[in-house]
Structures are given as C-alpha cells and as structure tokens.
Chain A
Amino acid sequence: MSRWLLPMLALAALIGIWQLAASSGALADLLGLEPFLVPSPAEIASALWENRSLLAENAWVTLREIVLGFLIGLAAGLGFAVLLRLSEMLRRIFYPLMVGSQAVPILVLAPVLIVWFGFGIGPKLVIVALICFFPIAVNAADGLRSVDPEAGKMMRSLDASRRQILWRVEAPTSLPFVFSGARIAATYAPIAAIFGEWVGADSGLGVLIREDSARLETARLFAAAAVLAAIALTMFALLALAERRIVTWR
C-alpha cells in the first residue's frame, strides 16, 4: 500500500493544482485560451458522469479492439519467438528483419489497412496486433535464448527432447521477459486502437475524441481520454497481477 501512497498523493496534488488553476481562469490565461477550452477536473468528472452511456458504448468498441488486437499480437509474437528459437536459420533471417521492421511507422499504414480491410473491426485489430507484436516477440525471443547452456546440457543428459527442453526449461525462463514485453504492448495498444479509429470508424473512443475535438467539447474529450487511460492502466495492472501469480519463483 505504501508503494502507492506517494504516487497517489502526487496525483491528487496535481489534480488539485489543475482544479485551482482552471477554475480561477489562471490556466486559460496562461495558455491564452478561452476558459471553456480549458476544463477543470470537476468539469471533466461531470462530463464523465453525464455522458456515461455514450462513453461506455464507445469504450466497449475500443476495449474490444484493444483486447482482441493485443491477444492476436501476443499469440503471433509468442509463436514467432518459438519458431526463431527452434530454427537458428529462421532466427538469423528474421530477427534482424523484425528489428528493422520497427523503422516502418505502422500507424502511417493505417489508411492503407482501412482500404484493404474496410471500416469494420478488422483494420483496428491488425494495427493493434502489429503494434503489440514487436515488444512481445523480441522480449520472448530474448527470453527463450536466455537459458543457461548448462541447463540445456543437464536436460539433454536427462533424456529431454528438444520440445521438452523448450517447454520445461526455456518457456518458463522466458516468462518474465514475455510479461515485460506484454506490459509495454498493453500501453501501446490503446494508442494504436485510437489511431485506427481516427483513420476510419463510426464508433469508438477515437471517433468520440475526434468529434469532440472538432466541436471543441473539451470536457468530454478529456473524459474520453480518462476512460482510455483507465483501460490502459487496468490492462497493465492485470498483467502485473498475472505475472505475480504465475512467475512465483522470482
């Protein structure tokens, strides 16, 4: 609990300062904006409550894109890492390509994906999955390779097959690495989903944020951003909890 006390106090202090600065008009003056463009935390909370059904409806759309896209990226990343571990040749060919692929701005490909896959959930899943794939695949591949060679020799002399060494030694060893990659992916996934929605969608928090931005509905825009942050934080916390439950030996 004490671990969370200081960050929570700092957050409360920041919100308090923001409230004072916004409600007194000081923040709007500082930014040279009209006061209605700079909502206070209380106004954002009020917008959150008043628009709860609209926000929940759109959050559900975005949440589905985030979770499904993340799971697809996770499965693909883990599968790819296992393939690279089992074949030295595949690793030599694809590991540098995988790292190099990060030079391609995947978000910029979003319009093309909309053209290819239409306006449904498909292109958003592809974008989220592509964004999640890299940190998971690289961390899992590094984790699988991090096994002490002596453990491999020991297992070979205890009649373990290649598959048994993978599942009994390498996979558990890689778990902390996989969770690190998954936590990074979980923080990227909401941004990827929102971007996908900006490029082409008719519902979702990204659509709401885009519309509110055009209508200068800043309080509701911040409320949507708060819901998105809550989704990202929840995913991060769930992954941290899962890691504590699963990786019990660290």
Chain B
Amino acid sequence: MVSVRAISHSYGELEAIDRLDLDLPAHGVLGLVGPSGCGKSTLLELIAGLQQPGAGEIEVDGARAPAERLARCAFMPQRDMLLPWLAAIDNAALALRNRGAGRGAARAEAGRLFEQFGLAGFERARPAELSGGMRQRVAFLRTLVAGKPLLALDEPFASLDAITRAEMQGWLARALAADPRTVVLVSHDVEEALYLADRVVVLSARPARVVEQLGAPAPRAADRDAAVTDPAFVAVRERAMAALHRGSQ
C-alpha cells in the first residue's frame, strides 16, 4: 500500500531525511516516533504528496507522482484546523463540498457518522462551542469522510491534555478496529504510537534514519489503560525508549 524507497530530503543545507525505507500494507497502522525536529512530519508530508523528496521514490496505492499521492491521502494536521466560521457538520463535509457535492448532500453523508463519533446533537455547533476532544473527533471525521485509502495523521492528539488524550487514543483504536484503514501516524509519544499502531518505526535525530522497527504487542486489551500496563506492552515500550535514546545521540 505504502512503499518508501531510499528517500532523502533537505531544506537547503539542512538534511532532514537520509536514505529511508518503509513499507506499510493495506489496513496497517504505522507509527513514526523520533526526537523533536527529527523530520517525522516532513516524512509524513512526503508520503502524503504534500512535498516531493529530493531523492528516492514513494508509492501510495500505486501512485508515485505527488499530486496522485495527495489524491489518495487525507492529511490530519497537529492542530484540528477546523474552520471557525463553519458548523461542525460543514467542517466534516469539507472534502465532499470540495468535490462539488451540494451542501445538503454533503451534510447528509457526513452526518451519518456523527452519532458513531459521539457527536450527535453537535452537528450545527461551531468549533468554539466544542471541547478539545470533540474538536479532534470532528477533525478525524473530516479526514475519514474524505474517503481516501491512506490517512496521514500528524500528532493528532498533541494539543490535548493528558486525560483527554488517553480517552481519544482509546476512541481512535476502537474507531480503527470497527473501520480498518491504512494509517501513518506521527507521534512524539511512544506509548500512543505503540498502542495505536501495528508497527512502530523509531527514527533518529536529524537527518532521520530508521533506528529500529518494533511490532506492537498483540493482542491488545480493548481497554487502553489495561493495554498500556500489560507487561508485554511495557517491555516493547522499554525497547522503543532505548531505541529513541540511541537515535537521539
């Protein structure tokens, strides 16, 4: 589904990524963790077709050109980026509206998912009227409604407080279990990446290289707190942390 071959990328003199390889099968969830500023978000944008790598090849669902990759990828930025002048439902339906759907049809299609996302009754609410967790759910819904084969999530819960973040992680894990998607998830939080992803790639400090790839412990408990305190999970987390320390040096 996603294939990254020997990509390197620089911003002028600044080398961001150095000959990096990755693979992700369909319906797989790949977590990318690494030290701050290591190029995780750049890698995500390269995969999503928002940028073109200086060298190497990226293929997403058979597409290689950036515009074609972008057509197959829905990007969710770090902050929710909900448009404050639009109601929650119109934010969720943005991709449909962009593709030419009428307001009524777009609202009807996006509105079908509101109950499932715990947003029933908030369709007409403006983003300012929603809690942080609800805003992230609308942002994720907007990403899903786009109907793209690949979801590129850039630290989707980084702006939330610890309790809401834990709740949202549990919620996202359930949402992906119910409706499996191919996901590349960037996170600065090893625990979050291991909990949500099937496989976690630990990247080094800039320029980003793969330090270690770790399979997430399986099967995971449905309850997030139980899952992250499981001894097998804790052991993998320790390995990931050790890799992160090695990569930071």
Q: How far is the CA of A172 from the CA of B126 in the complex (A)?
A: 15
* Of the residues A151, A157, A161, A164, contact of B48 by C-beta under 8 Å: A157
Chain B: interface secondary structure? mixed
Interface size on A, residues (CB 8 A): 18
Please indicate the chain A residues that have their CB under 8 angstroms from the CB of B120 in the complex. Answer: none
Q: How far is the CA of A200 from the CA of B141 in the complex (A)?
A: 62
* Of the residues B71, B77, B81, B83, contact of A159 by C-beta under 8 Å: B71
Whether B85 lies near A172 (C-beta < 8 A) is yes
Whether A157 lies near B152 (C-beta < 8 A) is yes
Q: Which of A67-84 contact B (CB under 8 A)?
A: none
Q: Is B2 an interface residue (CB 8 A)?
A: no
Q: Which residue of A lies closest to B83 (CB)?
A: A169
Q: How far is the CA of A139 from the CA of B94 in the complex (A)?
A: 27
Q: Is A34 an interface residue (CB 8 A)?
A: no
Whether B126 lies near A158 (C-beta < 8 A) is no
Within the complex, the shortest CB–CB distance from B106 to chain A, in Å, comes to: 12
Whether A157 lies near B83 (C-beta < 8 A) is no
Please indicate the chain A residues that have their CB under 8 angstroms from the CB of B97 in the complex. Answer: 168
A contact set with B: CB distance below 8 Å: 148, 150-151, 153-161, 164, 168-169, 172, 248-249
The list of the 8 closest CB pairs from A to B, nearest first, reads A157-B75, A249-B84, A158-B95, A150-B77, A160-B98, A159-B98, A151-B81, A249-B85
B contact set with A: CB distance below 8 Å: 45, 48, 50, 70-71, 73-79, 81, 83-85, 94-95, 97-99, 126-128, 142, 146, 148, 152
**Known A148-B81, A158-B142; further 11 A-B contacts with Cβ < 8 A:** A150-B78, A150-B81, A154-B75, A154-B76, A157-B74, A157-B152, A158-B74, A158-B146, A159-B98, A160-B94, A249-B84
